[in-house]
Amino acid sequence: MAMRIFETDPAAKPKATFSDDTVGRFHSGKSVDNLPVALDQWRVSTGDPEVAEAIAQLLGGTPEETETDKENYIVVDTDTAKVRVIIDGASAISSDLKLWNGSALIHHCDGIEFLSPEEDKGKPCRCPELMEDRKAAHKAKRGPGPSISVTFRLADDPDLGLFRFQTGSWTLAQVLHEVENALDKIGGEALCSLEIELVEYTTKRGRDVSYVKPVIRVLKSWNDAIAEPKH
């Protein structure tokens, strides 16, 4: 299942130029005093001390136990914004649109039709047609936003296990079709770069703008990558 947000607003589509067996999650943000804070380097959470130590060795940082009732109670604030990962095809990515009220899911669709509850599945969700209107509705908590999940292994330690990255990023949602197309062309496991990218620019009125966004770059077939001679 995938988002269908471009069917009603094709002009907004940029031109081309989770599972229970995961051992940890990658995060591009955290909560401070119940407010979301974006990160410029990856945070990894896990419930396995050995996985936490391996992450610290590979990506930097120090494992720290947190007071939480969640399974992934150990976090590692790494020293890196770019991680080489192995994504096993486009099926490793799932995306839809959700609106939550606390812990209650009150709207779940693909941008055109409801995905749940069962009695509404397939019915028109009546979300705005234009991309900017979708964003505005979500910002006002009147409409759903992207819910994207990516599962992968670490290229530098594939045997460590499967990780998941989940995000509600609109910037990733708008180019996710390009990532999926690139993975389809490879047709199997692909070496990719999972990144937190800093974006900086100055508006026409002279205001400096700075923010970070998650990025997935498909590099090459994993088989081709491991066949390359080591230097």
pLDDT tens for each residue of 56-84:
999 999 999 998 888 899 999 999 999 99
DSSP letter (8 states) at residue 188: S
Per-residue pLDDT for 12 more than 70? Answer: yes
Is 214 part of a structural domain of the chain?
A: yes
**Is omega for the bond preceding 214 within 30 degrees of 0, making it cis?**
no
Is 124 part of a structural domain of the chain?
A: no
Strand partners, 213: 197
Is 26 part of a structural domain of the chain?
A: yes
Considering the chain, what percentage of its residues have pLDDT values greater than 70?
A: 95
Output the pLDDT for position 19: 42
Is 160 part of a structural domain of the chain?
A: yes
How many angstroms separate the CA atoms of 90 and 181, rounded?
8
Is 219 part of a structural domain of the chain?
A: yes
Strand partners, 124: 113
Q: How many domains does the chain have?
A: 1
- Residues 192 and 84 sit within 8 Å (Cβ to Cβ): yes
pTM value surpassing 0.85: yes
Is 111 part of a structural domain of the chain?
A: no
* Count of all residues that appear for the chain in the document: 231
What ranges in the chain are assigned the alpha helix state H?
A: 49-59, 131-139, 170-173, 176-186, 222-227
Provide the domain limits for residue 210: 22-91+150-227
Is 74 part of a structural domain of the chain?
A: yes
Is 222 part of a structural domain of the chain?
A: yes
